[in-house]
Amino acid sequence: MALSRDQVVATAVDLLRRYGLGDLTMRRLARELGVAPGALYWHVANKQELLVEVADALLAEIPVPSPERPPEDALAGLAVTIREVLVQVPDAADVVGLAYAVEPGATRALRELGRLVYDAGVPASERDEVAALVVHHVLGSVAGEQNRRLAARADPDLPPPDSAGEAKAFEVGLAVILRGLERSR
């Protein structure tokens, strides 16, 4: 059976979920697929391209918000959903952050966030900056919770993060951002 791009990406996502970004190397990926590392480059140009595809795969199952929802509510709901999905995957914030830096519209979910920012009435001249603010708020929240979890594993004297408290803090920050949207109109 011939190797496909979908197999490469799916295996990379699996490695990320199991071991984190530090162990997602092209060599390890090739070993998992039973091919020489050079075979991967028929399907992805480099690791950056692979990580953009992994980010897209991580966020692919997130549904598009209903068009009947007010844009601010849809934006908040989408941001919360993205956070919930990413916080479950080690180093997901780093992977999605890289994808966003390389190509801000690389994933459907992040493109949808940008559209909802625009639909919420943010002037076109500020849309990209406000969308970036929301994306960075999501990714920062995910990275912070995951880093606190890692620190607690390494040092038993540190308390593990309170996931409910982390989610609440994220939502409070998001509400502040959304209030700022209302004032900018």
Residue 181's CB: how many other CB atoms inside 10 A?
19
The alpha helices in 20-162, defined as continuous H runs, are 26-33, 37-40, 47-59, 71-86, 92-102, 108-119, 124-154
The CA distance from 25 to 171, in Å, is: 34
Residues 88 and 142 in one domain: yes
The CA distance from 180 to 185, in Å, is: 9
Per-residue confidence (pLDDT) for residue 161, from 0 to 100: 87
Residues 36 and 65 in one domain: no
- How many distinct structural domains can be found in the chain? 2
Residues 20 and 101 in one domain: no
| Residue at 49 is within a domain | no
Per-residue confidence (pLDDT) for residue 185, from 0 to 100: 61
Tell me, what amino acid is at 104? Answer: P
* Residues with pLDDT less than 50, the chain: none
Q: Which domain holds residue 32?
A: 5-44
Per-residue confidence (pLDDT) for residue 184, from 0 to 100: 64
* Residue 14, CA atoms < 13 Å, CB-side half-sphere: 11
Residues 133 and 75 in one domain: yes
Residues 133 and 178 in one domain: yes
Tens digits of per-residue pLDDT, 71-124? 999 999 999 999 999 999 999 999 999 999 998 888 999 999 999 999 988 888
Per-residue confidence (pLDDT) for residue 183, from 0 to 100: 67
The enclosing domain of 122 has a CATH number of 1.10.357.10
Pair 52, 13: CB distance under 8 Å: no
